[in-house]
Amino acid sequence: MSDPVSAIRNIGPAMESALGRAGIGSAAELRALGADAAYARLLETGTHRPHFIAYYTLEMGLHGRPWNDCKGTEKERLRARFDTLCARHYRPASGTAALEPILESLGVVPASRLHKDLP
């Protein structure tokens, strides 16, 4: 039997549950996917709304590091990766999907940033 995803540092019950709903049921599978592919699956399956802290916590955990170890330029690079993932893979279930292109065209906010830190 393989280790559950919660065997990876920083993965608690809520993220373990979300990963399970996205079809990621073991630590080995999560490690093989990596943070970007796993987070993309969370977004694509609708089991998780974009949340930057959750993303970088997952990344840090896969490297065996505490979540709060992410700082400075590393955090900035991860933010750019997160924004790209959200732009490519997140499709809100609510009516906000129609509003995003309008806000972006007006220059109010880039669509990839609209849902950047929702819980």
38's tokens: 């796993």
Instruction: Count CB neighbours of 69 within 10 A.
Output: 13
- Tell whether 108 is covered by a domain: yes
- Tell whether 118 is covered by a domain: no
Number of structural domains found in the chain: 1
Q: pLDDT digit string (tens) for 62-118?
A: 999 999 999 999 999 999 999 999 888 887 665 555 666 666 667 666 555 555 544
Task: Output the domain CATH number for residue 97.
Answer: 1.10.150.20
Give every CB contact of residue 4 below 8 A, 6+ residues apart in sequence: 16, 25, 26, 27
- Tell whether 88 is covered by a domain: yes
Q: What CA–CA distance (Å, rounded) separates 103 from 111?
A: 7
Q: pLDDT digit string (tens) for 7-33?
A: 999 999 999 999 999 999 999 999 999
- Tell whether 119 is covered by a domain: no
